[in-house]
Structure 1
Amino acid sequence: MSCPLGKKALPQAMLLLLLSFQVLITPVTKANEETDKSVNFIPTVEFAVNTFNQKSQDEYAYRMEHIMSSWREEVDHPIVFSMRLRLRRTICKKFEESLDICPFQESHDRNNTFTCLFTVGTLPWITEFQLFKNVCS
Structure 2
Amino acid sequence: MKAMGTCVPTDWPHQQWRWALPWAMLLLLLGSQLLVTHCQSSQEKRDSDDRKVMESYFPATVEYALHIFNMQSKDVNAYRLVRILNSWKEQAETMMVFSMELELRRTRCGKFDEDIDNCPFEESSELNNVRHIYFPQTLICFFTVDTEPWRTTFHLLNETCTEGFQ
Query: If the TM-score is normalised by the length of the shorter chain, which range does it land in?
Result: 0.7 to 0.9
Residue number among 92, 111, 116 corresponding to 1:75 in the alignment: 92
Structure-2 separation of matches of 1:65 and 1:102: 12
Instruction: Give CA-to-partner distance per residue, 1:35-86, whole Å, 9 cap, x none.
Output: 3312110000000000000000001000110101001101132100000001
Structure-2 separation of matches of 1:135 and 1:31: 29
1:119 aligns with 2:144: yes
Over the aligned positions, Cα root-mean-square deviation in angstroms equals 2.2
Q: Identity of counterpart residues, as a percentage?
A: 42
> How far off its partner does 1:33 sit?
4.3
Kindly tell me: are residues 30 and 135 of structure 1, through their superposed partners in 2, closer, same or farther at Cα, counting changes over 3 Å?
closer
Q: SS at 2:94's partner residue?
A: coil
Give 5+ residue unaligned stretches, structure 2.
1-43, 127-134
- Which residue matches 1:58? 75
> How far off its partner does 1:131 sit?
0.3
- Which residue matches 1:129? 154
> Which stretch of the first structure deviates more once superposed, 104-113 or 29-38?
29-38
1:34 aligns with 2:51: yes
Letter in 2 for 1:132: L
Give the conservation status (yes or no) of the 8 Å contact 2:50–2:89: no
Give 5+ residue unaligned stretches, structure 1.
1-26
Q: Which runs of 4 or more aligned residues in structure 1 lie more than 4 Å from their structure 2 counterparts after TM superposition? A: 27-33
1:84 aligns with 2:109: no
Kindly tell me: are residues 133 and 99 of structure 1, through their superposed partners in 2, closer, same or farther at Cα, counting changes over 3 Å?
same
Q: SS at 1:111's partner residue?
A: coil
> How far off its partner does 1:28 sit?
9.3
Structure-2 separation of matches of 1:62 and 1:48: 11
Relative to the length of structure 2, the TM-score reads: 0.61
Kindly tell me: are residues 135 and 96 of structure 1, through their superposed partners in 2, closer, same or farther at Cα, counting changes over 3 Å?
same
